[in-house]
Each structure stands twice: as C-alpha cells, then as structure tokens.
Amino acid sequence: MEGKEITKEEVLELSKNYNSSFHNHTEVSLGDGVTTAEQLVKRAVEIGAEVIGVSDHGNCANWLPVYNAAKAAGIRAALGVEVYLENQLNPLPKTMKVYRISVV
C-alpha cells in the first residue's frame, strides 16, 4: 500500500499540534549558531509554531532580541541556556565528553 502524499498546508496544520523545539541556537551561541533572533522567529511563524525556544551555549545575550521579535510576531519565547557540567572533585576521563544540560 502506498502512502498518501501530504501537502505543505497539511504539514503546517499538523505541526501546530506539536511542541516547539527548544534546542535552537542564535548567532551568539558559541560555535553553533548563525541565525539571528529575527530569522529564527520568522521561520517559527512560517511553520505555524506558537512558541520558539532558544538555548544558546553558555550565555543569554540574545534573550531580549528573541523575546522582542517573538512578541512582535505574536508568538511566545521560551528562553534558556545550554550549560556544561563537570564534577571538579571527580574529573571525567579525557575520553569522555562533559555533561550538557539546558536550563529554562
């Protein structure tokens, strides 16, 4: 049995039922982001998201631009930061990566 082709409009309608991705980075996300706050919010609106999440690496420098862009576009902003945790009393072996966590 072949699958039914789905239109762009149907995808956009279906996407409204899902939570927004929180793991998005902007240009201030060290080594990981190139998108401006305005571009990120514009894309969220294009796909019908009601919320845009941002968790830049190690800083919250773009919180205000993301919040303002989201507010102007009529959607909400979920603001967070991606941090790295390491137990200095019991350091990880050099072959292991540090622990990452997103904090809202």
Q: Provide the pLDDT for residue 68.
A: 97
Q: What does the pLDDT look like over 3-49, one tens digit per residue?
A: 678 787 877 776 665 556 778 899 998 778 899 999 999 999 988 88
pTM strictly above 0.75: no
Rounded to whole angstroms, the Cα distance separating 57 from 100 reads 10
Q: Provide the pLDDT for residue 1.
A: 43
Mean of per-residue pLDDT scores for the chain: 82
Rounded to whole angstroms, the Cα distance separating 103 from 83 reads 7
Q: Provide the pLDDT for residue 14.
A: 66
Q: What does the pLDDT look like over 77-91, one tens digit per residue?
A: 999 998 887 767 776
Average pLDDT over residues 43-68: 91
One-letter-per-residue 3-state SS of the chain: CCCCCCCHHHHHHHHCCCCCCCCCCCCCCCCCCCCCHHHHHHHHHHCCCCEEEEEEECCCCCHHHHHHHHHHHCCEEEEEEEEEECCCCCCCCCCCCCEEEEEC
